[in-house]
Structure 1
Amino acid sequence: MSRGAGPTTRYDRRSVLATVGSAAVGLVGGCLGSDDDRVRVLAAGSLAVVLEEHVGPAFQAEAGIRYAGEYHGSNALMRMIEERTKHPDVVISADVDLLRERLYPDHADWDVEFATNAVGIAYDPSADVGGRLADGEPWYEVLADAGPGEVAISDPDLDPLGYRAVLLFELAEREHGLEGFRETMVDRAYREPNESALLAGIEAGDRACAVCYRNMASDHGVPFLGLPDAYNFANPAYADRYERVTYTTADGYTVSGSPVVYNATVRTGADEADAGRSFVTFLLDRPELLAEHGLRVPDALPRWNGDPPEGLDG
């Protein structure tokens, strides 16, 4: 994968991100004991760094309530709640419809949309593939030339970023007349089962690029190639176009393409519902913490769905 004598940069966040990546099996912040003065947040893996390093500590400092975060692909975490293997106070999804269709009405009856994102390509500029992307070659031609495993996507059966990568390939196929592009890329790409670790392969030199959200590239300090609105899932004006493509997960859940919007709720029956509501309020009151780390908070947000508790909706 080497591109001549290019730089072999290693990023100073690696140790932190390795810890975040391990959160699929435990709390990132370590065991916080059985004390009640904490809020347990089960969130989309793409938010691991911004929540663990920035929002969580800021909330803990201001509210005096300890933050305990755990991160998985959104589809996986919905299944954990449905199967009652996880009992968080707050749930945060990278797909608003996924949360509503999987958790309403048994586990939630309201949610709030609070941030958006864009899908693009993070890359290693020292790799041949990354170098060609940096040089401005059409991304779809570059990825079509990549060898097996050089391009990474997260697992489409576990999280929205994974199935959005697949849908992106299909939308690009239609946009640019690339017959068979979706199938080719799905067969060729490496599927990372832990969304939080998606870019670790780029840092380690094992992957040339990865389809990811913009904030994830910012978290890791790697170059990011933005893509056109026609298939970056960032522009609500293109929602009708995004909806034309679908993916069915291994557990039979069929999703249509949609703009990337994050939503949060306090789980019905949460052990620390008051702490959960305090955390959601803090999240909405600190949009700058999200915007500083690659997310977008447009004027249209926050946007409520259902009937939130009195006072929480401002």
Structure 2
Amino acid sequence: MSTTGDHTDSRVRRRALLGTVGSVAGFTVAGCLGSTPSVSVLSAGSLAHTFEDHVGPAFKDETGIDVHGEYYGTNAVMRMIEDRTKHPDVVASADATLLRDRLYDEFTDWDLEFAANSVGIGYNDDTEFGRRLEDGESWYELALDADEGDLAIGDPDLDPLGYRAIQAFELAESEHDLDGFREEMLALVYKEPEEPQIMAGVESGSRAGAIVYRNMAVDHDMPFLEFPAAYNFADPELADHYAMASYTTDEEGYTAEGRPVTYNATVVDDADDPGAGHQLVAFLVDNPDLLEDAGLTVGESFPRPSGNVPEEVER
């Protein structure tokens, strides 16, 4: 965790790029006299606790604006935007490239990357799998020895966490010389359609573990085994290596190559309250300590703007 001095320096560095948008917030609050102002967020499920327990309360304390979030797999989030079944102010994605591929031009023309993450296994240490894992046995040998459904992954057709699990199996197969490992794992794992619920079975002990992001394990105070750098999708220098694995979704036929886990956010063009949305995005990148407390990684390379970032956010 950052010291007070480090936190201050970090805020100053980020203000040099983005600043806060107090003037916009002032307009938003003034325009909502007589009711509590709010900003709506449609986000990747892995950010549910980040927004609900960390960012949302702090944002409300600083601005008086409530954050109303809905959380799904990122593929599902993009589909809801494209189908116009959801109408948020802010969209947050667990795959920066996916947001750009699906929303640019028609719904937005900019985004800001604000944090990174890593992939591994969140597990229940009261299960045989968990105990053997803590005794030092290889996760992939234990996974192959597990009963069907003992391990869960996200639904690869609904969220990047799911297809990153499959990509991790593919890269692990090569890394550890495990012929057929990817397909064997696909036959064994349970695919959880509701990403925010993927930890529930592990916490109860009905499942031994799940392939999750590090921050999800932190959220639930759960033991976490981070995968090696070769397939944890955390090292930007290994981007070309990660890209050797890919997954094509069944419904949209979208092919996602393996890539580092980076979160980004945008305000959609037809947002009900773009001012509050811009303020929330700026708040995300201006308060890295909140994101780190939530188990995300924020280094000096963040924030990373892309496209035509509005003046209200980048100034």
On whether the aligned pair clears a TM of 0.5, the verdict is yes
Alignment partner, residue 11 of structure 1: none
1:104 paired residue number = 104
User: Displacement, 1:156?
Assistant: 0.5
> In structure 2, what residue type is equivalent to 1:182?
R
Secondary structure in structure 1 of the residue aligned to 2:283 = helix
Letter in structure 2 aligned against 1:313: E
In 1, the alpha carbon distance for the partners of 2:270 and 2:200 equals 36
Are 1:171 and 2:175 matched, yes or no?
no
- Determine the structure 1 residue equivalent to 2:257: 256
Counterpart residue number, 1:123: 123
Counterpart position of 2:314: 313
- Which residue is equivalent to 2:94? 94
Q: Give me the CA root mean square deviation.
A: 1.1
SS across alignment from 2:132: helix
Q: Distance between the aligned counterparts of 1:219 and 1:301, measured in 2?
A: 22
Return the letter of the residue paired with 1:207: R
TM-score (structure 1 length as normaliser): 0.88
Q: Unpaired segments of 5 or more residues in structure 1? A: 1-33
**Cross-structure match for 1:292:** 293
Deviations 1:20-76 (A, max 9, x none): xxxxxxxxxxxxxx9672100001000101111110111011111111011000000
Q: Please, what TM-score do these two structures have when normalized by structure 2?
A: 0.88
Q: How many Å apart are 1:278 and its aligned residue?
A: 0.7
The 5 Å alignment of 1:220-235 reads: 220-235=220-235
| SS of equivalent to 1:70 | strand
- Partners of 2:200 and 2:69 in 1: CA distance: 20
Report what 1:114 is aligned to.
114
Q: Take 2:206 and 2:310, find their aligned partners in 1: how far apart are those partners?
A: 47
TM alignment of 1:35-46, pairs within 5 A: 37-46=37-46
Question: Which stretch of the first structure deviates more once superposed, 121-130 or 164-173?
Answer: 121-130
1:137 match: 137
Question: What's 1:182 paired with?
Answer: 182
Amino acid across the alignment from 1:48? A
Q: Hey, what's the Cα distance between the residues in 2 that align with 1:136 and 1:260?
A: 26
Q: Deviations over 1:2-29 (max 9, x none)?
A: xxxxxxxxxxxxxxxxxxxxxxxxxxxx
Residue 4 of structure 2: aligned partner: none
* d(CA) in 1 for partners of 2:78, 2:277: 17
CA apart distance, 1:311:
4.0
> Partner of 1:282 in structure 2?
283
2:64: which partner in 1?
64
* Cα pair 1:60 1:67 within 8 Å, conserved: yes
- The answer as to whether partners of 2:155 and 2:191 remain within 8 angstroms in 1 is yes
Measure the CA separation in 2 of the matches of 1:101 and 1:206: 37
Deviations 1:112-138 (A, max 9, x none): 000000000011111111111111111
Taking only the aligned residue pairs, the percentage that are identical comes to 57
Instruction: State the partner residue of 1:28.
Output: none
Moved more, 127-136 or 206-215: 127-136
1:206 maps onto 2:206 in alignment? yes
| Contact 1:92 1:263 (8 Å CA) reproduced | yes
Partner in structure 2 of residue 243 of structure 1? 243
Q: Structure 1 residues 62, 174: CA separation in 2 closer, same or farther (over 3 Å shift)?
A: same
Deviation of the 1:205 alpha carbon = 1.3
Question: Is it true that 1:266 corresponds to 2:241 in the alignment?
Answer: no
What amino acid sits opposite 2:288 in the alignment? P
Aligned 8 A contact 1:112 1:265 in 2: yes
The amino acid across from 1:275 in the alignment is A
> Distance between the aligned counterparts of 1:253 and 1:35, measured in 2?
42
Flag structure 2 segments of 5+ consecutive residues without an equivalent: 1-33
Work out the CA distance in 2 between the residues paired with 1:258 and 1:299.
19
CA distance in 2: counterparts of 1:39 and 1:74, whole angstroms:
19
Aligned partner of residue 84 in structure 2, secondary structure: coil
Tell me if the contact between 1:36 and 1:272 (Cα under 8 Å) persists in the aligned partners: no
Deviating beyond 3 angstroms after TM superposition, the runs of 4 or more aligned structure 1 residues are none
Partners of 2:47 and 2:109 lie apart in 1 by 23
